[in-house]
Structure 1
């Protein structure tokens, strides 16, 4: 009864959203994803009888890859909701990657699968309900509920009780997450740590370290680059040979960041380069305008300034940099990564206003070290194999 009512409401929302979908589909950022998700344009159903992994973004797609690679490639089915996530999934399964349709479309899009494995907070009711109704065992992995989002979950506890009734197995990051998930109705919840610590991407040696002290400004967002550039200016006054790799989080910002960085470099009389034009790292300031190179940048860097937390974004995966024992500077707004940060020693956390002076003397910063939490992948793989 609830599924029928929910589906009716979802169809009404779909109809109401159509004009907006059409308008946004004319924009470069949404030109592929929205027609695929809301109109099924060039988005056919995933083949039946596989292991269906669903993730949201680029970071989650990268995190789930080592787990997915443990299974027969012929069984892999992947879906995502973002363009960057789609591109990352296609690297793993180019013929079996799709955009996740808007919920009511799942009724005639979804084919029977052996398992549905959903990453973190992608809690779509009909995704679990329809997959389970068609024979799939359903898993929620790397599950977390942050302090910031917990009040909203409690407010809609009646809904989440319905949703978690459709989830067969939950793997939580922490004991606190388990308690919150069970309070919302989740069953068979097991704490295994953070999958992202079991699935840290390894560098392939694609980049050669240039001469001089190398700073990587990683996964930056709007409002963060200006503070990082000022900090690098102060650092470079002590280390004239220093170079900065600027790696924005979202590719649609590349053009805007290029203009800002190029102008800043001109004022400082620095050299500037786009990585895509010659793949050289010899300039003072280099914009990495290509996806998938972040871990390669970490591998050759001396200092990492990790974006996404100097503004209230929620933070990003610090383990990818910490595996190299680098000093890492983060902002205080890492609420989406609190559990992950707890497994890493040595991260320097400062407000954006203090970032420049912190960057000025990097020799004072401690190195980072991952201290635990790498057992999640084996436990999750074991449970998925039990249903094959």
Structure 2
């Protein structure tokens, strides 16, 4: 199959753009604390060895959520492929930091190379993958075609593209066919996305519904010593969590908390904004609401009327302290955030109505009683109040959350086996 014009144009453009992209990305990674040596992974210079004589399976994800979502799958494939080595690549410093402490056996992390001839040539020459698995929406033209050209088998898992992205691909059928034809298997999150992939010219016989792998990421990590200290600081006070909140949502959460304090005067709110760098702004909102606060970046443990949890990588700790979690990105039309992480902690989920990114998941959880929608801040206060007062209702919702997760994990072995077969991997 000859390369279409748009592909050839992108190859030419990428060669010109690499020096600029290298400068920008290296600067960004250095600001985030990444060493100069590791930053060079972006141009294909490996910093980990590739073991000779064993098959290597490469997983490529974009950022934190996508990277963490495939760890359980890698671990399960590792059981079936005891001789294999695994590589996971991602693009952000945050994902690298979180993955460092959670990598499965025989798995290493590297920053993904730029989608350009030089970086990909160096990357593929060193790693020589037998198979490559791309996560969600990672359709990089040269990465796909050059990896395919080495003889490696390719698959896509957890496929999820926006309607806008799919429409763009439908308008470029030659390019879409040229790229999507490299996949031996495309597993989507749901039936709607499976049909969407076929409509954008993916080979229909290789497209199938899988599962949302974010349900398989496993519980968020918890530092046992910090958890002991946090529980001691809280004592017997009731707690609820509002996590992954965005600008414009904290006001509704704080208004709900002020209402709740009238009937639950010792109630503590743990507020964890989606972007911890907004910590100062959120602190000002808390102070402006007339609420007392403690703050994690000052070294505090939960206390006061509001505890501002403005750090990365500690959500699992806060979820373990509460049975009630409001998940942000949902009172505003953002699309919602991952409810699996909350359910895995055994807490019930409250969410605003804007959950397009996880609509099917929320629908199933709501049916089981593991999640509940709220319309606004006043409704949030009413739902939290009900759960605080009714121990039986709260326990039932938490049990439903655990049951939902248990039902998902049974499917993981089937996905691992299907991938191993499609990628022609052997133990």
User: Is 1:47 the equivalent of 2:50?
Assistant: yes
Contact kept, 8 Å, 1:314 with 1:333, in 2: the verdict is yes
Choose which of 362, 366, 369 in structure 1 pairs with 2:384.
362
SS of residue in 2 equivalent to 1:79: strand
Choose which of 77, 91, 104 in structure 1 pairs with 2:87.
77
Distance 1:326 1:81 in 2: 31
Distance 1:73 1:221 in 2: 44
**Deviation, structure 1 residue 141:** 0.8
Aligned to 1:349: 373
What TM-score do you get using the length of structure 2 for normalisation? 0.77
Aligned to 2:390: none
Q: 1:41 to 1:203 in 2, by over 3 A?
A: closer
Output one character per residue of 1:87-122: Cα deviation in whole Å (capped at 9) or x when no partner.
Answer: 222224498311111111213321321221111111
Q: 1:180 to 1:361 in 2, by over 3 A?
A: closer
Output one character per residue of 1:221-266: Cα deviation in whole Å (capped at 9) or x when no partner.
Answer: 2332233222222222321111121222234x2xx32x23433444
Aligned to 1:380: 415
**Deviation, structure 1 residue 79:** 0.2
Contact kept, 8 Å, 1:203 with 1:299, in 2: the verdict is no
SS of residue in 2 equivalent to 1:103: coil
Distance 2:210 2:88 in 1: 23
Q: Which moved more, 1:365-374 or 1:340-349?
A: 365-374
Aligned to 1:222: 247
Aligned to 2:157: 141
Bigger radius of gyration: 2
Aligned to 1:182: 198
Distance 2:272 2:325 in 1: 11
User: Is 1:199 the equivalent of 2:217?
Assistant: yes
Contact kept, 8 Å, 1:194 with 1:376, in 2: the verdict is no
Q: 1:384 to 1:269 in 2, by over 3 A?
A: same
Gaps of 5+ in 1: none
Distance 2:35 2:414 in 1: 33
User: Is 1:248 the equivalent of 2:273?
Assistant: yes
Distance 1:143 1:268 in 2: 42
Aligned to 1:62: 68
Distance 2:334 2:357 in 1: 8
SS of residue in 2 equivalent to 1:290: coil
Aligned to 2:122: 108
Aligned to 1:22: 23
SS of residue in 1 equivalent to 2:183: coil
Distance 2:22 2:251 in 1: 33
**Deviation, structure 1 residue 343:** 2.7
Describe how 1:144-155 pairs up with structure 2 within 5 A.
144-147=160-163, 149-155=165-171
Aligned to 1:337: 358
**Deviation, structure 1 residue 61:** 1.9
SS of residue in 1 equivalent to 2:101: helix
**Deviation, structure 1 residue 80:** 0.3
Aligned to 1:310: 331
Contact kept, 8 Å, 1:78 with 1:96, in 2: the verdict is yes
Length, aligned pairs only: 382
User: Is 1:282 the equivalent of 2:292?
Assistant: no
Describe how 1:86-105 pairs up with structure 2 within 5 A.
86-93=96-103, 96-104=108-116, 105=119
**Deviation, structure 1 residue 7:** 5.2
Distance 2:381 2:173 in 1: 44
Gaps of 5+ in 2: 388-392
Q: Which moved more, 1:166-175 or 1:44-53?
A: 44-53
Distance 1:122 1:235 in 2: 43
Q: 1:200 to 1:31 in 2, by over 3 A?
A: closer
Q: 1:136 to 1:192 in 2, by over 3 A?
A: same
Distance 2:44 2:420 in 1: 33
Contact kept, 8 Å, 2:42 with 2:112, in 1: the verdict is no
What TM-score do you get using the length of structure 1 for normalisation? 0.84
Distance 1:91 1:244 in 2: 28
SS of residue in 2 equivalent to 1:181: helix
Q: 1:29 to 1:349 in 2, by over 3 A?
A: farther
**Which is richer in helix?**
2
SS of residue in 1 equivalent to 2:301: coil
Distance 1:342 1:244 in 2: 26
